[in-house]
Amino acid sequence: MNLRYRIPEISAMQVLPAIEEKDGQLYLYLDPEDLSRDYLVNQTLQDDCPMFFQAMRVLGEKIEPGGICDALFHAFVYVDFSGIFDRKAEHWSYSKRQKNYFARKAY
């Protein structure tokens, strides 16, 4: 069994309303104690990779083969951008763009 890392996943759709403007600058402040906003969507299990290995070394964590590791849970976050950058043909403007693109590629 390979080592897997438990990483929090948040929804970008939930994060965007947390952007506030102060003095002409945009700030993003996520308060994990604020129960009125549900940023955490899921806890993903990510396979081992060189980036996680290096992070574990920098943090001085012991790397145990196999199982699930929670050591990087507060160091990384997976952001789910579904619904923001989706370009499904179901939307009329994307459908039109796709038809135009493929019409140009036909010849």
The pair of structure tokens assigned to 63 is: 């790397």
Pairing of strands 68-69, 19-22: unpaired
Tell me the C-alpha distance between 28 and 17, whole Å.
Answer: 9
pLDDT at position 107: 46
Q: pLDDT digit string (tens) for 37-85?
A: 666 667 889 999 899 999 999 999 888 888 899 999 888 988 888 777 6
Instruction: Yes or no: say if 70 and 3 are a contact pair by the CB < 8 Å rule.
Output: no
Q: pLDDT digit string (tens) for 14-30?
A: 777 778 888 988 888 77
- Is the model more confident about 75 or about 12? 75
Q: What is the pTM of this model?
A: 0.60
pLDDT at position 51: 93
Write down the domain spans for the chain: 4-105
Indicate left, alpha or beta for 25 from its phi (over 0: left) and psi (-120 to 50: alpha): beta
